Chains A and B, each alone.
Chain A
């Protein structure tokens, strides 16, 4: 690669200099090695398959196959109405034949509930299988060059995320019990503490932010929250109405 090629084709986004000067010198050493890769504009948009890609690609292919096997029982395929002689019908549709008898309108076939799901699966299954294959090739390449392929780190992140999913689901179930105000303040304060912001200033900020969310969305914007709250039902009537309306 000479200087002109580098200037024209590579946008160097870092400060390292290329040892280009020596390559064109008549007495200099002409290396066959490709210079160290520099970041190019294209690289900003480049996709690289990381660890965990193969496992998730396999999972998506299995999900696609699951939908494929479910298709026959869950889309009305059993009640399909198709012309008796499909070959002749297709030839007619393509203009290769003329049929004198009355023909089923193509629109009636398209309207059937299984048609669009079938088209989806015709896109989904080949792409899922292709994706799995490409991912496997990258995995094999990484193994061949003894690059790390362990997914332990990724799995740890997936498992870690489960904890927060559980918190959200618990929050969802506690709102009808404790009300939006208490549940949100509790979750906001607990999450602040749980995520490692443990000094009182941060815990206070968490509580204050939760309170602000309740005031803005529930009190002012009157966003809907569950109408029947167990803890508010224990309050005196006037106070209950106030809490149900504004918190």
Chain B
């Protein structure tokens, strides 16, 4: 078992680096494609493989962002502003070194915080688990839904609409207790409902494949990399305040469901600029700007696992995909995990720590080889993403119809990408909708009146938080509207 796990860590880490470094793929697509394939591996091996991809892709994404002004993953977009500016000044190696060191610090910081939280609060969380009933998890899922919509600051209405579509897709199928078919239109394929992986592969992987194939190939400039890659750690220590603050932002934002890397980066970057002695340099090759963006975005993945593990509520698409792996491994995320699977939790975060260390070591030696991957043409890449998606989707249920529906979802996702509409709400609508439906059905016997939904300590508190978030959304909308009129 141990050699398999170690191989999975190495393959996942190096694979994630390459996936992150190649613009146009990203961890979501890679995990969507690999997810069904990993069902054939041992549970821990598949989990570690996917975690490796998840944890290391953002390291790799910084490479093209800095060298050729093209983010490898969407969350590295902010890195291009300072990273590429440094490259233009002839400081590419320094920028990469800073990015690696910042990512390493951010990743390790959030993992260590999570481990400390588990050690310190583990016993209390086990007791807290007893307070979580069906209605409490239901409220947590509703809160996750509201936060997801609120996190799409500029596209809240569209996010809510797409979330509604995702939720409705989760309803399609035969309700087993009363044998009523919801929106199946007598199509036999729809009786068991849509498989989550079919939708994920379609919406993320196939949509991107189509997007790349109808687009043009980028013509990236030649990247020249000279100099050492170790100076970043010294500079990181010299700017430790910004580094630690950025890591804190990433960790806190990662814990809040629905928020994610973009918001973490935004706050981190803005704060770093506010406290910097040279704010004018931000956007023009400021090392502090680079530190702020890379530290915060790499602190999110480990922290994002916490709401998933603690409440069983995924806060973003990647953790939603991870949830499928957990279920397949017989591990049920939720408050009971602290009592039933404490060793699993420590193994998970320890594996993440090893992945971060391994990735850093690999980058110090392999950067010049990984740089070559940047030049794979987009359209060629799109074709092979499409080919890879088939095997992933077919292997779920040995059903060719899954492949056909995957490409249909892929086409829908392609249109959404062209319009710059968010994709994540559809997937999370499907996931959270299933959770809400399951918990509501399971807890219905205890609900005599509407007040019973919120009269428990946890569900009541979560309900108050939901109302506060909705109130905040309404208040900011009114405020923005007034400002736009002025």
A interface residues, Cβ below 8 angstroms from B: 7, 11-15, 41, 44-50, 52-53, 56, 60, 63-64, 67, 70, 74-76, 79, 92-95, 103, 105-108, 110-111, 113, 116-117, 120-121, 123-124, 127-128, 130-131, 134, 154, 157-158, 160-162, 164-165, 167-169, 171-173, 175-176, 180, 184, 187-188, 191-192, 195-197, 202, 205-206, 209-210, 213, 217-218, 221-227
Contact = CB atoms under 8 A, between A and B. Distances in A.
A67 B168 contact: yes
B451 A210 contact: no
A192 B213 contact: no
A164 B210 contact: yes
Residue of B154, B184, B407, B433 with most chain A CB atoms under a 10 A cut-off: B407
A210 B153 CA distance: 41
Nearest to A227: B398
A180 B391 CA distance: 9
A14 B414 CA distance: 31
A111 B447 CA distance: 10
B386 A56 contact: no
Contacts of B415: 56, 158
B235 interface: no
B77 A44 contact: yes
B400 interface: yes
Given A48-B420, A56-B419, A113 B182 contact: yes
Given A116-B436, A213-B387, A111 B398 contact: no
Contact of A223 (B395, B403, B446): B395
A128 B157 CA distance: 8
Contact of A197 (B377, B390, B394, B419): B377
B153 A45 contact: yes
Interface residues of B, number: 84
B210 A188 contact: no
B394 A225 contact: yes
A226 B386 contact: no
Q: Return the 7 tightest CB-CB contacts between A and B, nearest first.
A: A124-B164, A107-B447, A107-B444, A13-B283, A127-B161, A191-B383, A47-B154
Interface in B136-176: 153-155, 157-158, 160-161, 163-165, 167-168, 171, 175
B3 interface: no
A105 B379 CA distance: 57
Interface of B: 36-37, 40-41, 77-78, 81, 153-155, 157-158, 160-161, 163-165, 167-168, 171, 175, 177-178, 180-185, 206, 209-210, 213-214, 262, 266, 269-270, 273, 279, 282-284, 377, 379-380, 382-384, 386-388, 390-392, 394-395, 398, 400, 403-404, 407, 410-411, 414-415, 418-420, 433, 436-437, 440-441, 443-452
26 contacts: A45-B153, A47-B158, A56-B419, A63-B165, A64-B161, A70-B183, A70-B185, A74-B183, A79-B178, A94-B450, A108-B444, A111-B444, A113-B175, A117-B182, A128-B164, A131-B161, A161-B414, A164-B209, A164-B213, A169-B407, A172-B394, A175-B394, A184-B387, A217-B37, A223-B391, A224-B394
B278 to A, nearest CB: 13
A56 to B, nearest CB: 6
Nearest to A75: B182
Contacts of B447: 105-107, 110
B419 A117 contact: no
A15 B284 CA distance: 8
Residue of B209, B392, B418, B445 with most chain A CB atoms under a 10 A cut-off: B418
A160 B214 contact: yes
Residue of A121, A168, A213 with most chain B CB atoms under a 10 A cut-off: A168
Contacts of B184: 74
Nearest to A12: B283
Nearest to B169: A120
Given A13-B81, A41-B269, A50-B419, A168 B284 contact: no
Given A11-B283, A107-B446, A113-B178, A168 B400 contact: no
Contacts of A47: 154-155, 158, 420
Contacts of B451: 93, 95
Residue of B269, B419, B446 with most chain A CB atoms under a 10 A cut-off: B419
Contact of A117 (B171, B379, B380, B450): B171
Contacts of A15: 284
A188 to B, nearest CB: 6
A165 B400 contact: no
Contact of A52 (B40, B178, B382, B419): B419
Contacts of A50: 418-420
